[in-house]
Amino acid sequence: MTTDAACDRTTPLRAGCQGEPPLTARLEPWMAELLADREACHDLVERYGSPLNVHDFAPLTRNAAELTAAADDAGVDLRIFVARKANKTLGMVEAARRAGLGVDVGSFRELEQVLAAGMSADDIVVTAAVKPRPTLRLALDARATLVLDNLDEAAAVDAEAAGTERGAPRHPVALRLAPRPSDRIPPTRFGESVATWLTWARGRDADHDRLRIDGVHFHLHGYDAGARAAALGEALELVDELRALGHRPGFIDIGGGIPMSYLDDAEQWRRFWQEHDDRPDALLWRGKPLEQVYPYHQELVRGPWLRELLALPVGPRTSVAEALRDRGLELRCEPGRALLDGCGLTLAQVVHRSTTSDDVPLLGLEMNRTQCRSTSDDFLVDPVLVRAAGGAREPFTGFLVGAYCIEAELISRRRLRFPDGAGAGDLVAFPNTAGYLMHILESASHQIPLASNVVADGGGYERDGIDAVSPIRPM
């Protein structure tokens, strides 16, 4: 659907709440349909409580297909693993499995759950930033690919692998590369240098070692294709040297960081920043500027971004695509956000209207800030107001607040305009929250239960299995 067509149809939906200035969310058709059905939204929140994370994973397949098409056109074999840290639902795992995608896991529980969901070990990569012994043991027993981050971890894997019976198949591992810091690539606390991995690999028997080096991995902060091309150049160097030692790495995994856009309109995004810098008092809570935020609009996303990366040079005469093809290497990636684009929204119940002691209007929601929050300063997408039945109320501009008892812990620091008012009984919907915005920082602070999660299922929504799994360590 074109942007214009999407906007036309969703304009009435957006009329009830706009940021100052507006940042108009891209809405998937399923989101627009649900949000236009006031009764359905209210029924869901009545049934499952507030806040409620609503998922439809149909866009996951389309998002992945964009990447695959870009790789196909460049003659590159691509394998995609969805980063599970971006969304905890089992519905996402099932959708990945149905779409023929793998899953990247970041903890023991994530691994245990994808195995229990029937995911094949070939389709699992374990990139957890810390891997205690039980995580290593489970990965070894399942034969899921383990990404080795550092030498201590590699030694722990050796120690665990020594316990596997003789004659058992060798265990697949990938080496996490820490690319050389440069103008483009900031220093990283993950991985080891080419030199360190080569020293480690040199002492090993390429044919009989219990660990089999299947690939080289890296993950960079940010979204710069050029930085990834530079890191790929180093990864190729490591692959070539490993092969010279007799090892047979067959893939390079570029991790995540594939860009997406929450906003279609580049001009809105530009204007937001201009006004942010010119008159922060008018835009933000107590005028405090935002510091670190996700780029909610990006020029090149997913497919076009990957096409650009594959066409970039590595070395004097070769492109990334050619370098991979020449060596018969598979390209792997582990996107989270870019694959979950369009897969979820969060609904919250309005509980009250109030004002601060200096007369700033507030709209109180039954949720806390961790339930729509990532590691950046704010979620810069206009919410959608889903009105309860009844007449118009007094217009106002103000802020969304939630359960936290801390003055500055608002749901959003952006000033929002409600031209027809808003109040108890209405719902506020946060569009496109499936990637990181609902789960990565969620908490049960104040002993408020975590949000429920539902997944589209044959015309309705069913509770996701993850809600039955306690996040507390069993005694």
- We find the least distance from the C-beta atom of residue 200 to ligand PLP, in angstroms, to be 20
List helix spans (H) across 27-85.
29-36, 38-48, 58-73
Measured distance CA(64)–CA(454) in Å, rounded:
22
**Quick one: tokens of 210?**
């219990």
Contact residues for 419 (Cβ-Cβ < 8 A; gap 6+) = 15, 16, 18, 395
Residue 342 touching ligand PLP (CB under 6 A): no
In the complex with ligand PLP, which residue's Cβ is closer, 21 or 295? 295
Size of the site for ligand PLP (CB under 6 A): 14
- Residues 122 and 109: their CA atoms lie apart, in Å, by 18
| Among the listed residues 91, 179, 255, 383, the single contact to ligand PLP using CB under 6 A | 255
Instruction: Pick left, alpha or beta for residue 386 (phi over 0 → left; psi -120 to 50 → alpha; otherwise beta).
Output: beta
- The residue among 1, 3, 25 whose CA lies nearest residue 344 is 25
8 A C-beta contact, residue 377 and residue 409? no
Residue closest to 137 by CA, chosen among 113, 156, 151, 123: 156
How would DSSP label each residue in 175-214? EEB-PPP-SSS---SSSB-HHHHHHHHHTS-TTT-SEEEE
Interaction of residue 42 with ligand PLP, rule CB under 6 A: no
User: Among 70-78, 132-140, 250-258, 301-309, which window interacts with ligand PLP (CB under 6 A)?
Assistant: 250-258
- Decide: is 145 part of the binding site for ligand PLP (CB under 6 A): no
Q: Tell me the C-alpha distance between 171 and 161, whole Å.
A: 8
Kindly state whether residue 335 participates in binding ligand PLP, applying the rule CB under 6 A.
yes
**Amino acid identity at 150:** N
The residue (of 19 and 255) whose beta carbon lies closer to ligand PLP is 255
CB-CB contact of 344 with 54 (8 Å): yes
Chain position carrying tokens 């080496």 = 175
Strands annotated E in 194-271: 211-217, 251-253
The contact pattern for ligand PLP, residues 215-244, with x = CB under 6 A and - = no contact, is: ----x-------------------------
Of residues 441-470, which lie at the interface with ligand PLP (CB under 6 A)?
none
| Closer CB to ligand PLP, 177 or 314, in the complex | 177
Which CB, 256 or 423, lies closer to ligand PLP? 256
**Pick 127 or 368: Cβ nearer ligand PLP:** 127
Question: Using an 8 Å Cβ cutoff, are 254 and 332 in contact?
Answer: yes
Provide the b/e sequence for 137-167 (b: ≥16 CB within 10 Å). Answer: bbbbebbbbbbbbeeebbebbeebbeeeeee
> Minimum distance between the CB of residue 329 and ligand PLP, rounded to whole angstroms?
18
Nearer to ligand PLP, 192 or 334 (CB): 334
Range in contact with ligand PLP (rule: CB under 6 A) among 62-70, 207-215, 231-239, 328-336: 328-336
Q: How far is the CB of 292 from ligand PLP (least distance, A)?
A: 14
The yes or no reply on residue 83 touching ligand PLP (CB under 6 A) is: yes
Nearer to ligand PLP, 13 or 83 (CB): 83
Beta strands in 356-415 (DSSP E): 361-365, 384-386, 396-401
Among 44, 80, 140, 258, binds ligand PLP (CB under 6 A): 258
Query: Helix or strand or coil: residue 249?
Result: coil
Contact call for residue 260 and ligand PLP (CB under 6 A): no
Residue with the closest Cβ to ligand PLP? Answer: 256
Q: Does 127 bind ligand PLP (CB under 6 A)?
A: yes
Closer to ligand PLP by CB, 338 or 345: give it: 338
Of 42, 84, 337, 387, the one binding ligand PLP (CB under 6 A) is 337
Q: Looking at 383-455, list the stretches that DSSP marks H as alpha helix, in order from N- to C-terminal side.
A: none
Shorter beta-carbon distance to ligand PLP: residue 83 or 438: 83
**Least distance from ligand PLP to the Cβ atom of residue 391, Å:** 43
**3-state SS assignment for residue 104:** strand
The stretch near ligand PLP (CB under 6 A) out of 66-74, 286-294, 333-341, 449-457 is 333-341
191 near ligand PLP, rule: CB under 6 A: no
Q: Does 63 bind ligand PLP (CB under 6 A)?
A: no
Q: Are 113 and 470 in contact (CB under 8 A)?
A: no
Using CB under 6 A as the criterion, which residues of the chain lie in contact with ligand PLP when the complex forms?
83, 86, 104, 127, 219, 255-258, 334-338
